[in-house]
């Protein structure tokens, strides 16, 4: 069984248990159901250099990344450094994330927040709204076209934006629908966890212009950013490159300065 299959199998078990203790009405009673969401798309297109900075404690490809820096320091640092939005991993078994990471971030920032998880069920979409997320990640590799439509349309009905993550052309063809806002090309193969930014380069011209377009994973230097901007990417989702530092906000600030100096 590959890594993605293991994650999804564990997620199904987790959701079956969660639904026994928390109801949809419980989620809908959250104060965040009255909140006007921030637009991740606008944040991407309104800024010349758009970094979605990620809060990620652990990864199957790297194991422990950063378990010590408090969420508050990470979020404040990212905001001060110039991130246009935040991506927060809430998957607990393989990434050591938690819904509390979004809840704690929401207390201290108005930056748009993308909930990054392995979303396969409508319960998780409603849950995302209930914890203060502004958008959700859907991963094409673990969803079929009908699931993508169902989950993304529910998200849109709740005022959440939808980022669909793809790895190849066949996945792209399944997700070019009206209820998707952003198409993200993940340079990391979720079955092998190998990384290659050529994935973003090869798919760039195939993504329709009516979607915001971002590149994810394996972006570690200014040359990568400059190259991918030349291929039309509106923004970049970067986590591990910052989170491996004890001060992720400072790492982001240094990265942005490096890019500006090289442009």
- Is residue 165 flagged as an active site residue? yes
What is the C-alpha separation between 117 and 97, in angstroms, rounded?
9
Catalytic residue among 91, 127, 161, 165: 165
CA distances from 187 to 44, 92, 134, 172, 214 (A): 19, 22, 24, 14, 11
For 176, counting Cβ atoms within 10 Å of its Cβ (0-12 exposed, 13-18 middle, 19+ buried), the class is middle
- Is residue 56 flagged as an active site residue? yes
59 strand-pairing partners: 63
Catalytic residue among 66, 186, 187, 200: 186
Catalytic residue among 58, 116, 213, 229: 116
- Is residue 127 flagged as an active site residue? no
- Is residue 171 flagged as an active site residue? no
- Is residue 217 flagged as an active site residue? yes
Catalytic residue among 54, 91, 127, 161: 54
DSSP state for residue 245 in the 8-state scheme: S
- Is residue 10 flagged as an active site residue? no
Catalytic residue among 215, 217, 240, 241: 217
- Is residue 28 flagged as an active site residue? no
Q: Which residues have CB under 8 Å from 186's CB, separation 6+?
A: 165, 166, 167, 199, 216, 217
Catalytic residue among 161, 171, 216, 240: 216
Catalytic residues: 54, 56, 116, 165, 186, 216-217
């Amino acid at each position: 069984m590959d890594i993605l299959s293991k994650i999804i199998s564990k997620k199904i078990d987790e959701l079956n248990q969660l639904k026994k203790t928390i109801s949809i009405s419980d989620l809908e009673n959250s104060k965040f159901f009255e909140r006007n969401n921030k637009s991740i798309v606008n944040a991407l297109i309104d800024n010349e250099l758009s970094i979605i900075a990620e809060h990620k404690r652990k990864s199957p490809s790297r194991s422990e990344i950063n378990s010590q820096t408090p969420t508050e320091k990470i979020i404040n640092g990212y905001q001060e450094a110039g991130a246009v939005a935040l991506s927060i991993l809430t998957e607990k078994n393989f990434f050591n994330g938690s819904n509390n990471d979004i809840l704690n971030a929401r207390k201290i920032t108005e930056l748009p927040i993308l909930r990054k998880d392995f979303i396969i069920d409508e319960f998780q979409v409603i849950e995302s709204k209930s914890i203060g997320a502004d958008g959700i990640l859907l991963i094409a590799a673990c969803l079929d076209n009908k699931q993508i439509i169902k989950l993304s349309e529910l998200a849109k009905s709740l005022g959440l934006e939808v980022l669909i993550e793809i790895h190849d052309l066949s996945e792209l063809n399944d997700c070019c629908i009206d209820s998707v806002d952003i198409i993200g090309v993940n340079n990391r193969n979720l079955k092998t966890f190998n990384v290659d930014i050529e994935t973003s380069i090869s798919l760039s011209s195939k993504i329709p212009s009516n979607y915001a377009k971002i590149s994810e994973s394996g972006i570690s230097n200014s040359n990568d950013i400059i190259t991918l901007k030349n291929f039309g990417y509106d923004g970049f989702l970067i986590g591990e490159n910052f989170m491996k530092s004890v001060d992720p906000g400072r790492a982001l600030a240094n990265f942005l300065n490096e890019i500006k100096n090289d442009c």
